[in-house]
Structures are given as C-alpha cells and as structure tokens.
Amino acid sequence: MSFQRIWRLKDILLNLVGIKCSDCGYTSYPPKAACPKCSSRNVSRISLGSSGKVVSYTVINVPIEGFENMLPLVIALVETDNGRVLTQLTNVKPEEVYIGMEVEATVRRSATTLDGYVPYIVKFKRSSTNNA
C-alpha cells in the first residue's frame, strides 16, 4: 500500500478493529475468523478504540531477522476501552515505559520486506496527553 493510501485509511486503521466472541466473551486483536480461546466462529467485529494503557510489556534485545536496526523492540499489552492489544511501542525508550502509561495508536513504517515492500503497520506511542 502506498503512503498516500495509508494516510487516507489512517482513521480506519487507528480505530482498531478486533473481534468479540459471542460464546465466551473473549476479545481478540487482530480480527480472526474464529475465537482464539474457544474456537467458536460466532464472533463479531468490534472497535477497540485507538488509545489505552500499558498493562504489561517486555523488551526484546535479541535481533529478529529483518528487524536488527529496530532494537530494542518494546512490545506491550495495551488495554483499550474494549479489549487488549499486543502491540509494538514506538518513540519510547525501554526505561521510559511503565505499567499504566497512556498510549495511543499511530501508523508507522515497518521494516522493508525482502522483496522491497514497505509495510505500514499500527504501533502505539506515548499518549500526547501524558504529562511525563
């Protein structure tokens, strides 16, 4: 996808869409055809919103092929109003992350793939309303 197209889709991308299982109530992101918890296909799409709080995080210092220049990677579990999202934090140093930190979705360029394709993906950044 081109950057221009991504920019037009930004609001849709940032309004994270996940699924909610009608059988067990589990919410999941990104959307899947079946519930990852109980395998029910009785799932519907829900909006997870575009901001939330860090409930858990981990820092990856071991390079993953293709991501060597993006280390350290800060991976966080973010709780939004409607569910939880496992995501990469951007524009924040590992030592600056804390449980309860307010974050918001943003669209960022990801590592170029082997065939030269530059994907844009949703990551989370420190919320601009944070006063820290």
Residues that bind Zn ion (CB under 5 A): 21, 23-24, 26, 35, 37-38, 40
* Minimum distance from residue 26 beta carbon to Zn ion (Å): 5
* Minimum distance from residue 56 beta carbon to Zn ion (Å): 22
Q: Indicate the residue among 29 and 124 with the shorter CB distance to Zn ion.
A: 29
* Minimum distance from residue 36 beta carbon to Zn ion (Å): 8
Q: Indicate the residue among 41 and 109 with the shorter CB distance to Zn ion.
A: 41
Q: What is the DSSP letter of 6?
A: H
Q: Find out whether 34 and 24 touch, Cβ atoms under 8 Å.
A: no
Neighbours of 109 (CB within 10 A): 13
Q: Indicate the residue among 16 and 19 with the shorter CB distance to Zn ion.
A: 19
Contacts (Cβ under 8 Å, ≥6 apart) of 73: 59, 60, 64, 67, 88
